[in-house]
Chains A and B, each alone.
Chain A
Amino acid sequence: MKYLRTFLLALQVEFSSRINIFGWFLCSLIPSLLLILVWFAILGERESISGFTKGDFAVYYLFITMGWYIVGGTFGISTGRKIKNGMINTTLLKPYNVVLGQCLEEQAWKAISFFLALPIMVFIVFLLRDNISIHLSFGHILLLIVSLILGGINFALIQGLVGISAFWITEVWPVDHLRVILLSLFGGLLVPLALMPSAVRALSDFLPFKYMFYVPVSILLSKNSNPYLDAGIQLLYIGILFGIYTLVWSRGIKKYEAIGI
């Protein structure tokens, strides 16, 4: 109930500043459109590159834009700020997990943004309709939804780790920046992993980043030869990351000096 209230309160705040929702949507759309433009230019007259057609590139990057509202987020920064400023002090004495609270608070703008961005995205897809073709069975749609949720949990755990790194360092933005770099490179945010150099692809198999966005989008594009195995690995990473998160939190809270008390 307390977390639901956190979410509802955040929802009200987000509704009061709609210009931010539109602005953030623009921020997420620009890189995707730019990358679509780049790959369209590279494709030129060619039918496909490593199995990726114009439509595949368009779906890939647009899905990452919209998928951000399901999987992505930035609550690591706000969590880090709360720890740095001693604002978690009051919550430590209550049965309230500050990191989970921050995570749920963030779901408000993600939910509103998703529904506000949807018509614009549908319009863009409509403009590119001649290039796009998606064929998914009911089973694949279910698997896609599951994979998105698992990807979101993986992402949230990484964000949580970024946030609680504030127990040791004063500014978490460089850690978050590192997260962005790793996700861009090994998570397929910048380029579909299938097109990346083989060394990057090999390394990405042993890191959690590709299991956040890349696995769901590869299911959507029917380019995943073993989606059930990947969903299983997503689950495995949730277990591993949760273990690391719990360990780091317990160590960090012992080190915390509670500035502001």
Chain B
Amino acid sequence: MNDAIIYLKRTFVLALKENIAYPSSFWMVVVTIPLYAVVQIVFLETIYGQTSNFAGYTKYQAYMLFGTFMMVQAIAHILFHGRLIMLKELIRGDGQESFDLALTKPIDAQVFATLGRFSFGSIVPFFVTVFIVVYGMAHQSQVLNLLNLAAYVFVVLFGVLISYLVLLFFSTLLFWFPELQMADALWGHTVEFGQYPSRLYRGIGGVLLNVAIPVTLMASIPVEFLLGRIAFPMLMIYAAITTILFLLTRLFWQVAIKKYSGAGS
């Protein structure tokens, strides 16, 4: 555990130095991600130009929804996305390091292979998303309740974990299909389901996206907590679902690494 913390600390410092030495990637993220937010805002304006209520959300509530979704994505990019997408190179051994290294390091292979590359460029988009959420909230008639806000923060963190688990799941498939190119893109498109209201998904789709793989934890559920639409005991249920998914993904990872036969062999 201590080794893992030391590893994360060192990689954090390394990423900081890298950003200072090569600032272009940082600035590119700073510029392009907020531009994407502009496109989505035009999309929201187009939707609400046609209707005043979309799946139970008014326009400004939809701003909160979109802001929260982008916030989860920004945190995902800051914390783990950059490292997890390198897993394919680790497994194929066509990068600077191979997965052999992960197995021989004195820290958990999952920590080494999936964490430790921080993208500071996403910090600015993170603050943009916070602004969008606050802007949406400012247009609500209800007063902000601190308990609701605390629940919102917790569920956002669950959402980040779900985002990590989904990307980990797709990336873990690389142990069976090393030629798989689009684990990252599949993650990107799967989490897209999370940016819309949970009520949009009904029937089997609803069970799948709200309970089994609750991608709606990335936006819809936290916003519903913030708006006081969901009772607090539900927080325990979402925590339980997230924990179960974490354990299942961990198990999947452990089975998968047994498939690894060595990049150099």
Q: Which residues of A contact B (CB under 8 A)?
A: 16-17, 19-20, 23-24, 26-27, 30-31, 34, 37-38, 41-42, 44, 49-50, 169-171, 173-174, 177-178, 181, 184-185, 190-191, 195-197, 200
Contact = CB atoms under 8 A, between A and B. Distances in A.
A173 B25 CA distance: 10
Contacts of A19: 177, 179-180
3 A-B pairs with the lowest CB-CB distances in the bound complex, closest first? A174-B28, A30-B189, A17-B179
Interface stretch (B38-46, B71-79, B108-116, B218-226): B38-46
B13 interface: no
Interface string B104-133: 000000000000000000000000000000
B57 to A, nearest CB: 11
5 contacts: A27-B189, A34-B196, A184-B39, A185-B38, A190-B43
Most A C-beta atoms less than 10 A away, residue of B31, B55, B182, B200: B182
B192 A30 contact: yes
Contacts of A200: 42
Nearest to A52: B50
Contacts of A197: 42, 45-46, 49
Contact of B54 (A26, A42, A195): A42
B179 A20 contact: yes
B180 A37 contact: no
A112 B188 CA distance: 23
Interface residues of B, number: 34
B36 A195 contact: no
A181 B188 CA distance: 15
B192 A34 contact: yes
Interface string B44-60: 01110111001100000
B248 interface: no
Most A C-beta atoms less than 10 A away, residue of B42, B49, B177: B42
A100 to B, nearest CB: 23
Nearest to B22: A170
Contacts of B239: none
Contacts of A41: 54-55, 200
A191 B46 contact: yes
A196 to B, nearest CB: 6
Contact of B186 (A23, A191, A195, A196): A23
B78 to A, nearest CB: 17
Contacts of A49: 50
